[in-house]
Amino acid sequence: MNVLEVSSLEKKYREKLAVKNVSFQLKQGRCTALLGPNGAGKTTTLNMLAGLITPTNGSISSSGASKDIRQLIGYLPQYPSFFEWMSGKEFLTFSGEIAGLTRKTSQNRCEELLELVGLLEGKNRRIGQYSGGMKQRLGIAQALIHQPKLLILDEPVSALDPFGRREVLELLKKLKKETTILFSTHILNDAEQVCEDVLFLHGGELIEEGPLVEVKERHQTPRLNLYFNEDSEKYKPYLLQKDWVHHLVAEGNRLSFEVSELDRDRARIFSMISEKHWGVTRLETSEQSLEELFMEVIKK
């Protein structure tokens, strides 16, 4: 079941087309990462989905019964604002009432969410005393206050230090068990830890999409790491002669390289090791990171 369906979405600012003919579906219960460099059109796309700006062309629809799609969505912008003189508890209760909850329902929901995002102990502190990671977790709680079917987060970890980033990523791992999530990021390694599906956005265009596992299968280049009991540099010339070895890199006692066909070429490596009596301690396969994969897709 699709929570959201986006068809031929476009946004034009004067003569500049910021988002170009973007179409995709968000499946219920999945965590999807909208990936791309700064300026790719990620924030513009999310703002259209959240109803903050009107598309120039295209449509956004949901399988939900609500006529106003915004009722189905919880949204956290890249730079959220808070009433810093309020406590976390006061802010969440206030947010719930704005969303149409009764005061009692809002208070009960507030306690549940503060526990979920790990802010129960700090609920009576002023928001101005919160760390960056605490504010971001409070923002996520605010986006969840009305129990939306879809949680949309714009660059939720980009402005955080490593500790705050880890806190938020761990929270997203918990949340994706309970709700559908779409979040944007230009830090692709963070997305790899959390998401099941990916959308690659570049220059305002959607250039690849699908389950992360399937996207990797479509674009992954087989890679081998060969470890020696001495410096690996002396072994480079032997492998450079082979037309099935590509992008060879020597680092200390390791040679890392791509091959044309994994099973066939791994067998060839074993034969070379045996024939030349190389002092190899380990041979392993490795995957490209999501960032490397994204760069490969852009080149194509």
Residue-wise pLDDT tens digits, 220-232: 788 899 999 999 8
Using alpha carbons, select from 289, 278, 141 the residue that is nearest to residue 215.
289
Q: What Rg do the C-alpha atoms of the chain give, in angstroms? A: 24
Residue-wise pLDDT tens digits, 138-194: 999 999 999 899 999 999 888 788 888 888 888 889 888 889 999 999 888 888 889
Domains of the chain and any CATH numbers:
2-218 (3.40.50.300), 221-299 (3.30.70)
- Residue 66 pLDDT more than 60? no
Residue-wise pLDDT tens digits, 196-208: 999 999 999 999 9
Helix (H, G, I), strand (E, B) or coil at 245: strand
Contact in structure between 27 and 3 (CB atoms under 8 Å) = yes
Amino acid letter for position 209: E
> What share of the chain in percent tops pLDDT 90?
50
Count other C-beta atoms under 10 Å from residue 47's C-beta.
19
Report the pLDDT value the prediction gives residue 114, as an integer from 0 to 100. 93
d(CA 291, CA 74): 28
- Residue 65 pLDDT more than 60? no
- Residue 134 pLDDT more than 80? yes
Report the pLDDT value the prediction gives residue 168, as an integer from 0 to 100. 85
Q: What is the pTM of this model?
A: 0.83
Amino acid letter for position 134: M
Residue-wise pLDDT tens digits, 6-26: 999 999 998 899 999 999 999
- Residue 287 pLDDT more than 80? no
pLDDT confidence band for 300 (50 / 70 / 90):
low
Q: Which residues contact 228 (CB under 8 A, 6 or more apart)?
A: 235, 253, 254, 255, 278, 279, 280, 281
Residue-wise pLDDT tens digits, 107-124: 999 999 999 898 999 999
Contact in structure between 257 and 248 (CB atoms under 8 Å) = yes
Q: Quick one: angle between helices 88-98 and 132-144, nearest 10? A: 30
